[in-house]
Amino acid sequence: MHTKTISELRLQLEKGEVSATEVTQYFQDRIEKYDSQINSFITTTFDQAKAGAEKADAALKNGEGKLLTGIPIAHKDLVSTKGILTTAASKMLSNYTPPFDATIAERLEAHGAISLGKVNMDEFAMGSTGGTSYYGITHNPWNLDHVAGGSSSGSAAAVAAGLVLAATGSDTGGSIRQPASFCGVTGIKPTYGRVSRYGLVPFASSLDQAGVLAKSAEDCAIVLEGMAGFDQKDPTSMEVELPHFSKLLEMPLKGLKVALPRNFFEGDMDTATAKAIDETLDIYRKLGLEFVEVELKYHDLVTPVYYVVAPAEAASNLARYDGIRFGYRAEDVQNLEELYCRTRSEGFGNEVKSRILMGTYAKTEKLYKDFYIKGQQIRRLISEEYQALLKEVDFIAGPTVAGPAYSQNHQASSIQNSLFDTNLIGANLAGLPALSHPMGFSNGLPLGFQLIGRAFDEARLLAAAHQYQKNSEWHQKLPANFA
C-alpha cells in the first residue's frame, strides 16, 4: 500500500476496496516496525489518526470524500498543531503544546488528510543534515549510516521509507529540496507567499516557505492544492489565483526554454552524477524542452548573503525564547539576568546559538550597514538576476546538490555544507518556486534534479516533473530494507 500514489489510494478508498481505518492501521504498523531504525518521528498521534479515519470512512460512505480523505501524512515538527507537542526539534520547545493549528495543518485536515504525527528536523530548521535535532539524527533509509539531509530530514525519510505518503516541510535555504534529493523523493518549495506561514515556528521570516515532500510530482500537486492559497492571518500571503495543480499535470511542454547555469555544475561531481544529469536532460529534450547554457553573475555571493540575512532574522525571531513566556525555563536561578542566560544557553543547541551570534553580530550598530544592509542590497541583485533570466526562459535547472548524501561521519561546518547546497539558496533569496525530483543513483544513494520557475508558476514545474516521471522510474524505487 505504501507504494501506491495518493490518486491510486484515493480511488481505492472511494470504491470501498479499502477503508481509511485499514489504511491508517497499515501505516501505523509500518511506523512501529521501521521508525526505530530511521528516527523520523518525534511524536506519533495514532489515537487522533484512528478517530480521523473513522470520520473519513463515514464521509466516504456518504459520498462526501474530499481531496485527501483518508490519506496518511505527517507534519514537520515546526508546524503548530493544536493540543499536540510542537518542538521544532529543540529542547527549548520540548514541552510546548500549541493552543492553535497552523493554517496548513488546518487546511489539510479540512481536506480529509490524516496526520500520523510530527516528524524530525534540524533544530529550528537550522542545518542541512538532520543532525542538529535535540531528538537525535534522522537516518537515511537508503543507507542508515548516511544523513537524510535537512532541515526537513524526518519528512523526506518518512516518505522514502513508506511510513506516510506525503509530509509537510519548510524551505528557508533548500530545506525541502536537499533532503528530497538525498532521500530519493520529490519536494516542492512554492513561491514565497503562495502557502501560509501562519503557525510555523519561524527561522528567517523573509525566506521561510512551507511546502510538500512526496514520492511523485503528482502527489505533491495534490497535497499542495490542499494547503496553498491566500490567508489573511499571514501578512506575507499573496492573494493570487490558486490553480488546480493536479489537473494541469499534462499541460504541453514542447518549446519551453530552460537555462542551465554553468555555476550549478561546478565542484566535485562524480561520474554517476554527471551521467544521471545527461540522461535526465535527454528525457526532457524528448518532452520538447530546449536548453541553453548561461552564467549567473552573482552565484558565488548566494551563500555569503544567506549567512548574513538568515541569521539576522533568526536572532530577532528567537529573542522570544527567554524562559518567561513559554518553552524551556532554567531552574534555581538567582536573578533575571541568570534566567535569560541559562535558559538560552541550556535550551538552544550549538548550531542555533552560533546563528544567533552571527545574526546579532551582523546587526550591531557598527556593522549594520556593512553586513546586513549590504547583504540585503546584494540579495536584491541576485533576485533581479533570476527574475531577468526567467523573462528569457521558463525554468532554471541543474543538479539539486552536487552529489548523494554524505556519511554521518562527514566533518564539515554548517557553512561548508551550505556551499555543497549552494544551488538551492538563490530560489529562496528571490522568492521563486523550486522543485527537486529523483534522477538516479550514485553508490546506492539517490540523486536529485532541480527546476526553478517563475513566481506563482508551480503548475508548470509540477507538470514538467510529472511528465519526466512518466518516462522514468527513479521516483518508484524503494530502499530495500523498507520495501
Q: How confident is the model at residue 415 (pLDDT cuts 50, 70, 90)?
A: low
For residue 165, the model assigns a pLDDT of: 98
Work out the percent of the chain whose per-residue pLDDT is above 90.
94
Assess whether pLDDT exceeds 70 at residue 302. Answer: yes
Tell me the one-letter amino acid at 251. M
Tell me the one-letter amino acid at 21. T
Assess whether pLDDT exceeds 80 at residue 18. Answer: yes
For residue 43, the model assigns a pLDDT of: 98
Burial class from Cβ neighbours inside 10 Å (0-12, 13-18, 19+) for residue 419 reads: middle
Q: Please tell me which residue, 465 or 417, carries the higher pLDDT value.
A: 465
Count how many residues are written for the chain. Answer: 483
Distance, CA of 451 to CA of 163 (rounded, Å) = 26
Assess whether pLDDT exceeds 90 at residue 419. Answer: no
CA nearest 188: which of 477, 458, 8, 402? Answer: 458
Per-residue model confidence as pLDDT tens digits over 214-240:
999 999 999 999 999 999 999 999 999
Q: How confident is the model at residue 266 (pLDDT cuts 50, 70, 90)?
A: confident
For residue 420, the model assigns a pLDDT of: 75
Mean pLDDT score, 101-113? 98
Count the alpha carbons within 13 Å of 209 in the hemisphere toward its beta carbon: 33
Mean pLDDT score, 353-363? 95
Whole-number Cα distances in Å, 32 to 38, 116, 130: 11, 11, 21
Is the CA virtual torsion 193, 198, 200, 206 positive or negative?
A: positive
Distance, CA of 346 to CA of 351 (rounded, Å) = 13
Task: Give the catalytic positions in this structure.
Answer: 76, 151, 175
Tell me the one-letter amino acid at 388. A
Whole-number Cα distances in Å, 273 to 16, 149, 397: 43, 17, 15
* DSSP assignments along 175-193, one per residue: TTHHHHHHHT-EEEEPPTT
For residue 399, the model assigns a pLDDT of: 97
The CATH topology of domain 1-482 is Amidase signature (AS) enzymes (3.90.1300)
Per-residue model confidence as pLDDT tens digits over 20-59:
999 999 999 999 999 999 999 999 999 999 999 999 999 9
Distance, CA of 4 to CA of 475 (rounded, Å) = 12
Contacts of 241 (CB under 8 A, 6+ apart): none
Is the CA virtual torsion 251, 253, 257, 260 positive or negative?
A: positive
Q: Cell numbers for 11, please give them.
A: 480511488
Contacts of 472 (CB under 8 A, 6+ apart): 280, 283, 439
H/E element, 239: none
Tell me the one-letter amino acid at 182. F
Distance, CA of 430 to CA of 393 (rounded, Å) = 16
Mean pLDDT score, 313-319? 96
Distance, CA of 241 to CA of 243 (rounded, Å) = 6
Contact (Cβ atoms closer than 8 angstroms) between residue 117 and residue 379: no
* DSSP assignments along 51-103, one per residue: HHHHHHHHHHHTT---TTTT-EEEEETTB-BTTB---TT-GGGTT---SS--H
Task: For 162-190, give one letter per residue: b (16+ CB within 10 A) or e.
Answer: bbbbbbbbbbbbbbbbbbbbbbbbbbbbb
Q: How confident is the model at residue 101 (pLDDT cuts 50, 70, 90)?
A: very high
For residue 483, the model assigns a pLDDT of: 85
Report the range of poorest mean pLDDT among 132-141, 273-282, 323-332. 323-332
Assess whether pLDDT exceeds 70 at residue 414. Answer: no
Distance, CA of 57 to CA of 18 (rounded, Å) = 10
Whole-number Cα distances in Å, 82 to 40, 100, 103, 207: 21, 4, 11, 25
Assess whether pLDDT exceeds 90 at residue 417. Answer: no
Per-residue model confidence as pLDDT tens digits over 373-412:
999 999 999 999 999 999 999 999 999 999 999 999 876 6
| Backbone torsion region of residue 288, taken as left when φ is above 0, otherwise alpha when ψ lies between -120 and 50, otherwise beta | left
